[in-house]
Amino acid sequence: MLVRRRFPGSQHEARQIVWNRPDFDTLKRHVPFPVFVDWEARPSALKYGHVNSLLAVIRALHDQGGTFFDASGQSLNSLKITPVRRKLTDQYKKIFSIVGHETARPILIAMVGKLQVDVYFNQHFFVQTETTYRQYFPSASVILRPRNFLGWDLVPSPGSWGSDIISMTYDWLGTFVLEATESGLTGQVRRNFRGYKFVPARDKLFLSRRRPPLTDRRLLSNNGFQNVIISDHMGSCWPVLSREVTRYIEEQSGRSAEGGTS
């Protein structure tokens, strides 16, 4: 049974989601290609949550008639997922996992009607405050962004205080954020969410295994996460995720018909 409640800050609660192997096995059967995951010996519930969130979004895109391609544009015959710890860049600081950076690559591309949607897994955003030089790099389990409406801007290179300027692409009206956190918002996780207040995307979804305490719910609301899904297995969570992805695709398709405006 699906339970929905109003949280402070207009958040919603829906019980049951995606934190274990049985849910992974179920989701694999509902995507249109084989899925291989480079699991460690004993993967954590959090890694299952991240991977299962990705597969749930792919399933929802498939239900919308999506066809799938790899980052080079070739038809996708299989998908390999490596749920490693999130890192902003490689050890040589040559390849960044920042959406919009020229070195970042989506894990796959979904074609849904006229929309060409990049799907990112465990990657970061780049945001900078208008009043200071401070940069933020919040990350998310799944990020969707259509290529149809991309703009670009010149920004200081990540981590740079000098004249190192780069071009970054963006489309905040078309950005969909889905973040899964198995435990509370503490330490690095909490710092990650503080940066989200500078991310102007309006579609932000938060998944958790447990109901966040009041202070965490306020933090989420203040950072734009109005929808919260709480659950232990796939069960009744799927209709919520499916509905949110369907609504997102419909809104972006409407933008396409209107020439990219909101």
Q: What is the pLDDT of residues 87-103, one digit of tens each?
A: 999 888 889 999 999 99
* pLDDT value of residue 17: 45
Does residue 65 have a pLDDT over 90? yes
Q: What is the pLDDT of residues 17-38, one digit of tens each?
A: 468 888 899 999 999 999 999 9
Burial 70-80 (b: 16+ CB within 10 A, else e): beeeeebeebe
* pLDDT value of residue 14: 46
Q: In angstroms, what CA-CA distances link 64 with 61, 242, 255?
A: 5, 10, 17
| Range 69-78 contact pairs with CB under 8 angstroms and sequence separation of 24 or more | 69/108, 69/109, 69/110, 69/111, 70/108, 70/109, 71/105, 71/106, 71/107, 71/108, 71/109, 73/109, 76/33, 76/108, 77/33, 77/34, 78/33, 78/34, 78/35, 78/36
* pLDDT value of residue 16: 42
Give the sheet arrangement for strand 203-208, strand by strand.
67-69, 108-112, 115-124, 139-146, 176-181, 203-208, 227-230
In contact, 158 and 101? CB cutoff 8 Å: yes
Alpha-carbon distance of 219 to 216, in angstroms, equals: 5
pTM score, whole prediction: 0.90
Give the side-chain half-sphere CA count within 13 A for 63: 20
Residue 32, φ and ψ in degrees, nearest 5: -85, 20
Q: 147: closest CA among 169, 178, 176?
A: 169
Please count the other Cβ atoms lying within 10 Å of the Cβ belonging to residue 205. 25
